[in-house]
Amino acid sequence: MIVGVTAASMQGARVATEGIDLWFEDLADSRIGTAAKRVNGVWVPGHFGMRPPALGGALGDRFDVVLTPSGLGKFTAEYESSANLELDGIPVRVLPLTRIIASKRAANRPKDRAALPALEAALAVLEEADRER
């Protein structure tokens, strides 16, 4: 599932990010490595406490693996409410903007606080569009 600012930008927020944050239900899932290999990338599962898991190779540093997003529930609960969107013609699951905002508030890092006005403005536009329908 795509989370973070990339997920927000896919839902209309005018924000910028350096990488795509990915949250996996099970880091031991062999499909992660298979998918990385299909695009000439590498999956390094990592070892908790020693090094975090990472995607690399042809994937470069464009992807970040999120282990424990701030302020969110368990993966399965968040996945159930995720949005189905397309990225370059590929269907992907994306954390809803309301949950991204909740996570940014919970993390409370300076970069998260700085992103909140743009995220909240995008949410207001989406909510107004829903009311008009």
pLDDT (tens digit per residue) in 55-88: 888 887 888 999 889 999 999 999 999 999 998 8
pLDDT at 49: 64
| Residue 74: predicted pLDDT | 96
What is the full DSSP assignment across 4-63?
A: HHHHHHHTT-----SSEEEE-S-TT-HHHHHHHHHTTEEEE--BTTTB--EEEETTTTSE
Q: Specify the pTM.
A: 0.87
- The pLDDT assigned to 50 comes to 67
